[in-house]
Structure 1
């Protein structure tokens, strides 16, 4: 993390600089709000543009493909240069994406807008985690759990607002309004970033030497190999089919090249040697992947089924989702005050399985209250898993690579979300019905069982330190 100019953050201030909270929180929720709003917009977009569910699923996958690639890359840049410039550039791109999406004449342009949104929302979460780490270092209070909980709650709050806000925007201005929303959000993010994010210290030394150091620290070959590997893998996951086997072969070959490059590089993009000795962090990433398969299969699959399979309007479908996120907020606030992550992960794992079993009882004639019961139960794992995974990375990652490690957490989560999107598209096909929803639930149950197994077998969780809940107070 780079030093800041004198006066950017008061050195004598004993607690967390709360001026940083608005840009941190707004930046970190730009991706979740676009994820949740689209969940109720997929059906209206499909009807307006004549696209089946298998095509509208690309609106989900496109954003996560871009974000999966961008988060660790931008995170590494933040580790090296500080958050301000990366935050301002990427949040400006969010506004451009909003304009493109609002004016999009067809599905292809709309997918481009979602790709731009994916890259534009890359900096928010890594920048927030980097600022939390730098403030912990400045104040001498490591692991400020109160701020980490605030970030988790902010994301959960946006998840509450997202489906409902999406339904309102669609009711008032049509599905294009869900893209137009990004313009004022972008402006607000840029203004807050300009006002309160710390500036990097002025560069010193010989310009040629500085450029040489930057090139070596950036590890551009490693970044390119990582991007090519992940793109090949995710293109297969978007629409898995035996005829596309060559994509897996390409991904494996590029992945081997990436590993060789990173093991030999003096300043690797992703230090595989460190990860090789950090099994707890790798286990956390794998848990994030399977947890988000369940979470996003529910978010997208259940939302589409409540609209087309059950017959609710987009606004009412958004209302049905509210209990999930209200419970998640409450759970995050309460559990964020308690040390340890193992108990949170275990309860979250069991909660996922119970909620999936309840989904198997639903049908087109089920009483409305049963839908609310399912979303209520899903709120428990939603709140516990997100907070526990975030806190795990904070204490397990190398402090000098906290932003890129946080970006990788999101990358694994987005790979899970893309698997969920592909599973939903394959389960529903051209028509969204109860049979397709039940097929999707069995996939969710398999992922939930794997999540539970990974948690039970991970003995390191009992030894992991917990964030200091007093540091942010």
Structure 2
């Protein structure tokens, strides 16, 4: 037993020596903060646009602001979790969520609302790497090599929130306007603070003595931010921004290869090809997932003339299908079969987008959502299990944060695609253009999943 595990054991001493289930409530509640803000916003973009007189290409920054902040914040906070332990990062992040919610409620202009979403992105970045750190520590203490049941519980809870998010957002908008989807963050933040202070252990991290690579974090943030600014408007006049991104990225690589305690150990990461493949699959999976969530929902409201509450209800079976699939397959740690089946169904669902229009019956749209829900239940959980098996234990927090970074990079690309294809509104023609892109992305995901032979070993020897 390591010194860290011994300290953890002395602090917690759970009955029966199994996984300390007192940790599950704060882990789950913290992890749902990001998906609930993502899913509620899907039905609020059109009302917010009307309120501020903004086009879909402008309200897309509400999506981009959250995910850009999260893409940067997840590995940064994950590295801090590795260095200083999970408790203080969890409490700081969840407190920031409440502050961001208040700013959103009072926002007088669109740019203030975007600032609120950026703060939400940073605030919601703490819980997931903190949870993965605690999972690894509990695994060392209990001897469970792969706590697939707990990982499945985290995944299912996020999908339950995805079920509740759109209809809840629609109901809140109907009851008091879009401001209420920001107000719900205040009680959620308070609950996280109470549970976190009560149940999370006062653990020190694994790498405090190594220091924190602040310059590396700054260069990483600059690289992603400049790249996203270009991606949201890839015209000739924006090429200097892309040059800045490339320059910051080059400086980041040089810095990380030369420093003794890098923010992202590129040498270790570069030698872990299976983990790199998992990050690539995560990126591709969530380009498809988020482009469908936001693009399809906006089209339902504008292209099919449905209300936000009705659009939210149409998405309900999609998330229900994702939950059912995760519940059935979640306790099995093997991942390759899940990824292959998920990618095949994903290709079929994206191709169906090319066949629908404003005259398509509602029941067909509901069936399409169910089809898309199947890969959402398989792909994310499979990649999460793969990361748990592939990442170095000493860098579990930052590795988990980086998995979320690739997830949100996918969301950022999805946001940029929606902005590009919906410049004239969420039309059927724009939806079909988006569908063609998603078929190509889903096809690439299928190729990567089938070609990765290392996946055959994941989970076979790690049954809990």
TM-score category, normalised to shorter length: over 0.9
Following superposition, the deviation at residue 238 of structure 1 comes to 2.5
Residue in 2 aligned with 1:331? 325
1:239 corresponds to? 233
Q: Which residue of 2 aligns with 1:398?
A: 392
- 2:286 maps to 1:292: yes
1:209 alignment partner in structure 2:
none
Listed as ranges, the gaps of 5+ residues in structure 2 are: none
Quick one: structure 1 residues 202 and 419, their matched pair in 2 at CA, closer, same or farther if it must change by over 3 Å? closer
Tell me which residue corresponds to 2:264.
270
The answer as to whether partners of 1:341 and 1:466 remain within 8 angstroms in 2 is no
Does residue 1:80 correspond to 2:78, yes or no? no
* Change over 3 Å in CA distance of 1:355–1:368 after alignment to 2: same
1:145, 1:468 within 8 Å by CA — same for their partners in 2?
no
Alignment partner, residue 115 of structure 1: 118
1:207 is matched with: none
Task: Tell me the distance in 2 between the aligned counterparts of 1:193 and 1:415.
Answer: 28
Q: How does 1:149-160 map to 2 (within 5 A)?
A: 149-160=152-163
The answer to whether the aligner puts 1:136 opposite 2:139 as a matched pair is: yes
Work out whether 1:69 is the aligned partner of 2:63.
Answer: no
Matches of 1:467 and 1:299 in 2, distance apart? 36
CA contact (8 A) 1:4 1:198 kept: no
Bigger mean CA offset, 415-424 vs 6-15: 6-15
Count how many residue pairs are aligned between Structure 1 and Structure 2. Answer: 461
In the other structure, the counterpart of 1:210 is none
Equivalent residue number for residue 174 of structure 1: 177
Cα distance change on mapping 1:194 and 1:434 into 2, 3 Å: same
Structure 1 residue aligned with 2:246: 252
In structure 2, how many angstroms separate the alpha carbons of the residues matched to 1:386 and 1:13? 31
Aligned counterparts, 1:381-392, within 5 A: 381-392=375-386
Match of 1:192 in 2: 195
Q: How far apart in 1 are the matches of 2:451 and 2:8?
A: 46
1:284/1:393 contact within 8 Å kept? yes
What is the Cα-based RMSD across aligned positions, in Å? 1.8
Aligned to 2:276: 282
Displacement after TM superposition at 1:295 (Å) = 0.3
* One of 79, 85, 100 as aligned partner of 2:103: 100
Q: Is the 8 A contact 1:2 1:82 kept in 2?
A: no
1:376 matched to 2:370: yes
> What residue is the counterpart of 1:430 in the other structure?
424
Of the three residues 348, 352, 356, the one matched with 1:362 is: 356
Kindly provide the CA deviation profile for residues 248-295 of structure 1, in whole angstroms up to 9, marking residues without a partner as x: 222222212111111121111111111111001001111111111100
- Secondary structure at the aligned position of 2:32 is classed as helix
Q: Counterpart of 1:303? A: 297
Deviations along 1:203-226, one digit per CA (max 9) or x if unpaired, are 9xxxxxxxxx95842111211111
Alignment partners' CA distance in 1, 2:351 and 2:234: 26
TM-score, normalization by structure 1 = 0.94
